[in-house]
Amino acid sequence: MIETCERPLPHGITLSCRAAGEAGRPVLLFLHGFPEGAFVWDFHLAYFSRPEHGGYRCIAPNLRGFERSSAPTEVSAYRPKHLVQDIAALIAIETQGQGGHLAALVAHDWGGAVAWNLANQLPELTQKLVIINSPHPGTFLRELQHNPAQQAASAYMNFLIRPDAEELLAQDDYRRLWEFLTHGKNGLEAPAWLTPEVRDQYREVWRAGLRGGCNLYRASPLRPASAQDPAAAAVSIPKELLTVTLPTLVIWALDDIALPPGLIEGLDQYVRQLTLRTVPGASHWIVHEQAQHIADLIDSFLHQ
């Protein structure tokens, strides 16, 4: 059974969360992306909280700026250091009596951007890391700087930083956001997972406000350069800020049109204990499309 809760953090941010499983059990924490919310993990919260699948305490926060979580208005509040601070504080709350660390941190899309940073800066907070179609900052920067195909695939980011992006995204019953979820090999044909019930869950997240999600893009320079902004072209990241020593499972849907598989090339240069699993025929929304397969891959990794 999925429960909802709020977690006030010591630095003044409150995260709304979805959770399942008994408190005091080893903790799995799940981070969502854009334009999603914590609800996308409901299948996995229920699955991994069952005794036959580990009986974990499973929790999925809405990132700051999403759903009922705190939503600072200033763009600077969405820089990676603040997002990492939120998740580190939530881990401290959820792992009391568990040694202060997660069994695993699982993340997709923007949640993965937070997770990559946390794994580099605070590896003691989790035993394992699972990343689903979220580019490592080292390979993403390389592709944004040198690969025209990635630059074209990421061009939508420069739309999302427009000052009127929130207003435009909300028009016509969120037409542009539905296009994010339905573009792919079937064009605008709605995928089977996008049921009326799931659409209503998305609408509930979006009605709470879109500024926080757009501010994630505004606060990050990792986007294609434009005539007005050098963006990624002006970025340099020291390798020590890119190295991940944790056992890491990367699951990559190969039909992701925004994040093509070039992003996993050379990943082992940054991730010392890498397990890579590619999934043909799956899109960026693999968490919805192949929820059971994702669960199976994570389950196997947790038992390695």
- What pLDDT is recorded for position 23? 92
- What pLDDT is recorded for position 252? 98
What is the rounded CA–CA span in Å between residue 24 and residue 57? 7
Q: How many CA within 13 A on the CB side of residue 98? A: 24
In CATH terms, the fold of domain 3-302 is: Rossmann fold (3.40.50)
* Domain spans, the chain: 3-302
Q: How far apart are the first and last CA of the chain?
A: 28
- What pLDDT is recorded for position 184? 47
> Residue with structure tokens 């809760």?
5
- What pLDDT is recorded for position 188? 54
- What pLDDT is recorded for position 187? 46
> Residue with structure tokens 């695993």?
104
Q: Which of 35, 82, 91 is nearest to 59 (CA)?
A: 91
- What pLDDT is recorded for position 190? 83
- What pLDDT is recorded for position 185? 42
The token duo for 38 is: 């914590």
* Residues of the chain falling short of pLDDT 50: 184-187
- Tell me the whole-structure pTM to 2 decimals: 0.97
What is the rounded CA–CA span in Å between residue 69 and residue 284? 24
- What pLDDT is recorded for position 183? 72
